[in-house]
Amino acid sequence: MEENKIPMPKFHATELVTDALKNAELVLYYCSESGLDINKKNVETLTDAKRIFESNEWTREIEIDFWMAYKELTALIKPVNVDSLKASHETIIKNPNRFQRLIGKKRQDTLAYRTVRFYTIFGVLTMVLMLILHIYFSIGSIRLNRIQAGDERIKSIEAQLDEMELISENSINLNAQQKRDRLQNELYEVNTERESNIKLLKGWTEYVEKFFFLGKTQPTEQTVESIDENGLPAPPMAPEAALNENIEIIQNAQNYVLVIGLYILPLFYGLLGALTFVLRALSQQTHRMQFTKESNINYILRLILGTIAGLAVGVFWGDLKQQESFIIIRSLGPLIVAYVAGLTVEYIFSGIEKLVGSWFDKMVAKK
């Protein structure tokens, strides 16, 4: 009777069990490196399970003991988990691409190291680009401020000259004549400096137009007529035409400064604030072995939200600074607010959601 008995099918380990056995070794390695107190029985269970699996003698009872021991070990290393350990230690390429297969590359840097390297390079490039843009924005702002200060100084000198004219008409005053000559010399110097700043500002606007593809700058009348048909210098531009050109240059520069200062720079500062948060969080997670593949998704979303927050600050800045309840914001300026918004974007949007929710609840209660 026993000879005719049908043998029971052999119990095989699944692919999940195979992966768990490999992960168990990584967990044991981390526990040993970290000096965690491990139950010896669990270690024996895991090592026996590995030996039995390699000898192709896997049984149901062994698998039950393995999963129980594996559960206790993974609970011991919390908040570290298997995914974070693999991100910090795994270097074998499981699915190589064509180039990696061509060169026979089987190992690479860990996921955590590659992520740190990517965000470090991205952060440096962002800071360099933002620094260049900020310096260029500051140059345009400084030249506009100098022109404005020169205009105010010209008005003041002209008012003093009018007073000197009245004094000279009523009586001959040597001191008044000397002062008038000095004011006229000063007026000439201020006008010369103003014209020089306008020429520099013109070059600044041309670079902005080229960078943002705003169209090729048309040559001015003075440039076209700088040389006559005989090859001699042409007469200078008419005062009215020169005045119109200067006004156009100043107005274009004011528009470009406004756009860069309220839209482009706040966007970069919001991104920089989000990058600061990501680098700090990444530093803490890699140090504590808590970085996982899913963490990178959160970082990408954080960068996008930080950029949106910075842009929102620039867009709504004109409205915010007029509100009396935003005195602190008005004193800080849009750029630092955009940076703080990018750094603390979750609190910003959570606060906005609470305000909108409370307002909606009040509207519903009134109805």
Q: Could you tell me what percent of the chain has a pLDDT over 90? A: 29
Is residue 32 a part of any domain in this protein? Answer: yes
Stated as kind and residue range, the H or E segment containing 102 is helix 98-103
**Residue 10 pLDDT > 70:** no
pLDDT of residue 99: 67
Count how many domains the chain has.
1
pLDDT, tens digit (0-9, with 9 covering 90-100), for 86-145: 888 888 776 777 766 777 777 788 889 999 999 999 999 999 999 999 999 999 999 999
Q: Are 238 and 111 in contact (CB under 8 A)?
A: no
Is residue 48 a part of any domain in this protein? Answer: yes
Q: Which two tokens stand for residue 76?
A: 């011991």
pLDDT of residue 161: 82
Higher-pLDDT residue of 283 and 262 is 283
**Residue 9 pLDDT > 60:** no
Is residue 174 a part of any domain in this protein? Answer: no
Is residue 129 a part of any domain in this protein? Answer: no
Region 163-187: mean pLDDT is: 74
Higher-pLDDT residue of 276 and 163 is 276
The region of weakest confidence among 173-182, 244-253, 258-267, 297-306 is 173-182
Q: Are 253 and 79 in contact (CB under 8 A)?
A: no
Is residue 216 a part of any domain in this protein? Answer: no
Is residue 344 a part of any domain in this protein? Answer: no
**Residue 217 pLDDT > 60:** no
Higher-pLDDT residue of 210 and 231 is 210
pLDDT of residue 27: 92
Residues whose CB is less than 8 angstroms from the CB of residue 32 and which lie 6 or more positions away in sequence, other chains included: 38
Higher-pLDDT residue of 350 and 47 is 47
CA distance 190 to 339: 38
Is residue 222 a part of any domain in this protein? Answer: no
pLDDT of residue 329: 45
CA angle 107, 109, 114 (to 5 degrees): 145
Q: Are 76 and 31 in contact (CB under 8 A)?
A: yes
CA distance 245 to 220: 8
CA distance 93 to 261: 46
pLDDT, tens digit (0-9, with 9 covering 90-100), for 316-358: 875 555 444 444 444 457 888 899 999 998 888 788 778 777 8
Higher-pLDDT residue of 118 and 9 is 118
> Pick from 319, 318, 311: which is nearest to 338 by CA?
311
Average pLDDT, the chain: 81
Region 206-216: mean pLDDT is: 73
List, as one string, the DSSP characters of 15-84: HHHHHHHHHHHHHHHHHHHHT----HHHHHHHHHHHHHHHTT---HHHHHHHHHHHHHHHHHTTT--HHH
Q: Which residue do the tokens 């169209």 mark?
A: 215
**Residue 293 pLDDT > 70:** yes
pLDDT of residue 237: 59
pTM of the model: 0.75
Structure confidence at residue 167 as a pLDDT band (50, 70, 90) = low
Can you give the residue range of the structural domain that contains 54?
Answer: 9-108
Q: Could you tell me what percent of the chain has a pLDDT over 70? A: 81
Residues whose CB is less than 8 angstroms from the CB of residue 269 and which lie 6 or more positions away in sequence, other chains included: 130, 310, 335, 336, 338, 339, 342
Is residue 148 a part of any domain in this protein? Answer: no
